Structure 1
Amino acid sequence: MYSSGNPTNIANPIKDASVRVDIKTDSGRLTLFETTLCQKLSWNDLVDQANLDPEGYSSAYNVKDIQLICCQPDASRLWLVPPMVQARFIKSLQWSMKIIFSWELTRDRPKGKEAVKYELEVEDMNLPEPSKVMEVLNGSSNSFRIYNVYPRFFRVTGSGDVRFLEQEVELVSGDLVLNRGNPEWWSFHDINAPLVSGCGSLAGPMAVVVSEETPQGILGETLSKFSIWGLYITFVLAVGRFIRLQCADLRMRIPFENLPSCERLLAICEDIYAARAEGELEVEEVLYWTLVKIYRSPHMLLEYTKPD
C-alpha cells in the first residue's frame, strides 16, 4: 500500500513517433508530408554521440531519458489532391501562406496524456516565396526550402508538455520535394542532417528528444496528470468546502442542538410512538403537531427544555 502511494520516478521513453507538415492559407489546410515510419534509438546505443551533439546539449540530462528519433524522408501517404482543388489552393497562396510542422509522440504515461503533440509554425522570414511553392504545385519545379523549422533538441516533461532546452540549440532546415510519379508523394530532406550510423541512410526529420521520468503510484500518476498546482487547488477546494459545510449556519442550529434538558421532548416522542403502536392515530397526530408547535416557537422550546 505504501509503495502504491509513494511516488518513485521511472523511465518513460517515446514508444511511437510521427511527423507532419501542413500548408495553410485562407482557403484551408493541406497536408504535404506525413510519415509514421520513425525509428527510436536509445542514447546509450549510439556510438557517435559526439557527431550528433558536439555542443554537449544533452550532458545535463540522464542518458536513459534521451532518444534519437530518425524518420523516413519519404511520406507514408500519397499526394492525392484532385487537380481542381489544387488549382484553387494555388490561387489562395497569393494572399496568405503558413507552414506548420508537428511532431506527434506517444508514451506510456501519464494516463490520459499518453499522446504529445509538438506543433510549430514556421516564421514568415523563414518561409519560401509563395511563387516557389506555386511552381512545385503546378509542376514547373520539384522542391522548395524551409529554414529553421524545428529545434534539433527538445524535451518532453513528465506532465506531457514540450519545452526547449535551457541552451539555445540549432534549428533544422529542410527541403520539401514533390516526387513526380504515378501516384505522387512528398519527401522531407534534412539539409544539415548529422552523420549518425544509427539512422543509416535516413535523412528525413531527425530530433534528439529528452523524455523526462514520470513518478509511478497513485500519488505519482495524479501529480503527472494534474501537476502539483492542480493537486493543491483540488485539495484546498475539497477541504475548504467540507469545513465550510460543517461550520455554515452554525448559529442557526444552536437553539435546537444546545438544549438544557430534553426529557419532556423525549417523553412526547415516546408518547407518539406508543400511540402509533396502539393504533390511536388521532392521539398520535395531536402529539405530533404539539411537537411541531414547540419547535416553531423559541419561547415554548425554552420553557419545555428548562431543567427541573
Structure 2
Amino acid sequence: MFLYYLLAQFFSYFFSCVSRSAVENTVAKAFYVVKCLYLLVSAWQIRNGYPQLCIGNLLTHAYGLANMVCFKVFMAVPFLFELRTAIDWTWTDTSMPLFVFFHMENFFAVIYNLKCARTFEQSYPVPRGVPKGAIVKYMMGLPMILLIVFLVWCPLLAFSLLNRIGAISIPDKVRLTVQLEGYPPIYEIESQGSELRAMYPDELKYLTDTMSKRYFPFPNGTDSMKRSRDCVSFIKEYSTNDVLVVSFRPESEVPWGISEESMSALIEQLSGNSSINFIVTAEISRPYDSTKKEATKHTAHWSQEIAPNTTLRTQWINMLQNPGAGQTVSMAEAFPSYLLVPSEGAVVVPSPIVDAIQLNQDNYQRPLNASDRDWFDTLKFSLVNSTLGNVWVVQAQHPSQFTSVYFNASKITYGVHRDRTYVQTIAFVDKAFPSFFAKYLQGGVIAMYISLVIVIGRLIRGLFTNSPTDVMITEIPNPDFLLKICLDIYLVREAKDFFLEQDLFAKLIFLFRSPATLIQWTRYKAKRD
C-alpha cells in the first residue's frame, strides 16, 4: 500500500507540471521528499502500533550533543516554541491554564538543556587545576578579539571605503529645467549620449593640482591649508569614470508653451508687488535597476526670489513684451558648476570643493554677508523667435571673483550661432549600493556607531553577562531529579490523572522557589561502599 501511494505521489507531483520539466521543479521535489518521510514515519507507527503513553518529543529522547544543538535551534526559531506549545495545550487534555502550561514547557526546556550540558561534561571531562592550552585559547579567544575589533572598526571602515565599494552606476540622463514659479518652464533640456562624458585624466589632475595649491599662509593659514587638504582628499576618492562632465545645449529643446492669457498674467505679476520665484531644477537619472524595478533618480532645486520694484523685473518685462529683440536677462547665482550625486537621495553641492572655492581665494576678501551661492554660475537668458515659436536660449558665466577653479564649456558645433557655448556642470557620482546598505550609511558615522552600540552591543553583552541569581539554575550539578518530575508530569497527563499532574507541578514550583531545597535535591549523592 505504501509503495502504491508513493508511486501515485510521484506521478502526481512530477507529471502534473505542464510548463517545465520535473527536474526543474524544485518545489515539487522538496514536497515529494517531505511527503515520503512523513509516509515512512506513518508506516512505522502503523506497523508497531501507536503507544498509549507518549512522553516528550523526538528531540528530547536522548541527551547527546546533537540533541542539544537541535533543541537549541528549535528554541531559536521565532514563534515555533510558542506555536508548538499552544497547539499542545489546545489538543491535549490537561488541567493547567494556558500560561501555566507555557511555564511548564519553559521549565522543561531549561532542565533539558542542563541535562544535555551535564551529559556532555561527563562524556568529555576536563581535569581540574590544568591551565587551558594555547591551541584552545587561540582557537576561541582570537576569533572573539577579531570579531569585537571588527565591529568597533566597521563604521569607520564602511565610510573610508564608501566610494570604493558598490557598483558603478553612471547616470545616463540629466535633465535641466528653468521656470518662473507658477508658469510653464522657460528652458527645458535633457543631456544624454555624447553630451555626458567622463572627465579626462588631465582635467582631473588639473583640478587636483589647483585645489592642492589653493591656500594662503596668513591670516588663518592653518584653516586654509585644512580646507585645501580636505578638498584634495575628496577629489581623490573619485576616478575619472566617477566624474561626469554634463553639457546642456544652450537652446531649449521645446518652444515656450505659454498661452496669451498666461503671458499677460506673468507680465502683470512681474509689474506688481507680489513675490515670484526663479526656480532651477536638475534631475539626474541612473540606469534602470532590475532589482528595484525602476531607474534611480536624484533631483535638486535652487530657488531665488525676483524682488519687486527692481531693474531685474523690468528687464524680464521688457523681454516678454518684445521677444526676439536681442535683449538678455542675467540671473546671478543660478546654477552650480559642481554637483555631488549620492548613492541615494537628493543632489547636493560638494562641500569640500565649495569651501575651497569660497574661502581659499587669494587676493580676495569675501564679504561677511556674502551669499552661500556666490560661487554659482550666472545664467543669461534671451528669448528668440523661431519657426516653431519662441525659444529660450541660455548662456552660463562663471563668477569673476573666483579664478582657476572652473572649466570653460566648449562651443556648439551645429546650427548658425556657433559662438554659443554649452551650459556645463561637473558631477561627482557616488557608487550605488544595495538599498539596505545605503539606508544604513545614510545617517552618518555617528548614527552607525549608535546603532552598533545599542543593537549589536546589547546583543553581545546579553550572551556573556547574566544576572548573578541565574547561577542557581545554570550551575545545577545534577538535574536528573528535576527532569524526572517533568517526565512524570507528562506521564500522568497522558494517563489523565490530573490531580497528580497539579501536585507534581506544585512540587516543581516549590523546588524553584526554595533554593535550599533545590540545592539539596540536585547535588550528587555520595556513593556508599
Provide TM-score, normalisation by structure 2: 0.44
State the Cα distance separating 1:290 from its structure 2 match: 2.8
Residue equivalent to 1:104: 283
1:200 aligns with 2:377: no
Residue equivalent to 2:43: none
State the Cα distance separating 1:63 from its structure 2 match: 3.9
* Distance of aligned partners of 1:171 and 1:254 in 2 relative to their CA distance in 1, 3 Å threshold: same
CA distance in 2, matches of 1:89, 1:305: 92
1:174 aligns with 2:359: no
The answer to whether the 8 A contact 1:15-1:108 is kept is: yes
Residue equivalent to 1:131: 314
Residue equivalent to 1:40: 196
* Distance of aligned partners of 1:277 and 1:29 in 2 relative to their CA distance in 1, 3 Å threshold: same
Residue equivalent to 1:272: 489
State the Cα distance separating 1:17 from its structure 2 match: 0.8
Residue equivalent to 1:150: 335
CA distance in 1, matches of 2:245, 2:262: 38
Larger helix fraction of residues? 2
The answer to whether the 8 A contact 2:283-2:300 is kept is: yes
CA distance in 2, matches of 1:91, 1:108: 43
Matched residue count: 290
CA distance in 1, matches of 2:483, 2:336: 79
1:222 aligns with 2:441: no
CA distance in 2, matches of 1:83, 1:57: 47
CA distance in 2, matches of 1:291, 1:109: 64
CA distance in 1, matches of 2:440, 2:256: 38
The answer to whether the 8 A contact 2:343-2:438 is kept is: no
The answer to whether the 8 A contact 1:19-1:205 is kept is: no
CA distance in 2, matches of 1:10, 1:264: 60
Residue equivalent to 2:299: 117
1:17 aligns with 2:174: yes
Residue equivalent to 1:187: 392
SS of equivalent to 2:275: coil
1:282 aligns with 2:499: yes
> Percent identity between the aligned chains?
14
* Distance of aligned partners of 1:76 and 1:14 in 2 relative to their CA distance in 1, 3 Å threshold: same
String of CA shifts for 1:32-72, please: whole Å, max 9, x gaps: 32222452134449xxx89xx9x943657544444432222
Larger strand fraction of residues? 1
* Distance of aligned partners of 1:304 and 1:44 in 2 relative to their CA distance in 1, 3 Å threshold: same
SS of equivalent to 1:96: coil
CA distance in 1, matches of 2:480, 2:167: 64
Residue equivalent to 1:79: 256
CA distance in 1, matches of 2:440, 2:482: 55
User: Which letter does structure 2 place at the counterpart of 1:144?
Assistant: V
User: Which letter does structure 2 place at the counterpart of 1:222?
Assistant: F
Alignment of 1:51-62 (within 5 A): 56-57=206-207, 62=239
Structure 1 gap ranges (5+):
none
CA distance in 1, matches of 2:334, 2:299: 15
CA distance in 2, matches of 1:21, 1:190: 13
SS of equivalent to 2:476: coil
* Distance of aligned partners of 1:298 and 1:207 in 2 relative to their CA distance in 1, 3 Å threshold: same
State the Cα distance separating 1:10 from its structure 2 match: 7.1
Flag the structure with larger Rg. Answer: 2
Structure 2 gap ranges (5+):
1-157, 211-234, 359-374, 399-407
CA distance in 2, matches of 1:297, 1:171: 78
SS of equivalent to 2:196: strand
Provide TM-score, normalisation by structure 1: 0.68
State the Cα distance separating 1:19 from its structure 2 match: 0.5
CA distance in 2, matches of 1:100, 1:9: 33
* Distance of aligned partners of 1:294 and 1:115 in 2 relative to their CA distance in 1, 3 Å threshold: same
CA distance in 1, matches of 2:386, 2:459: 68
State the Cα distance separating 1:190 from its structure 2 match: 0.7
CA distance in 2, matches of 1:214, 1:178: 39
CA distance in 1, matches of 2:482, 2:283: 71
Counterpart among 37, 45, 69 of residue 246 in structure 2: 69
* Distance of aligned partners of 1:289 and 1:175 in 2 relative to their CA distance in 1, 3 Å threshold: same
User: Which letter does structure 2 place at the counterpart of 1:36?
Assistant: E
String of CA shifts for 1:80-128, please: whole Å, max 9, x gaps: 4455555445444423232222322233599989433243334879x96
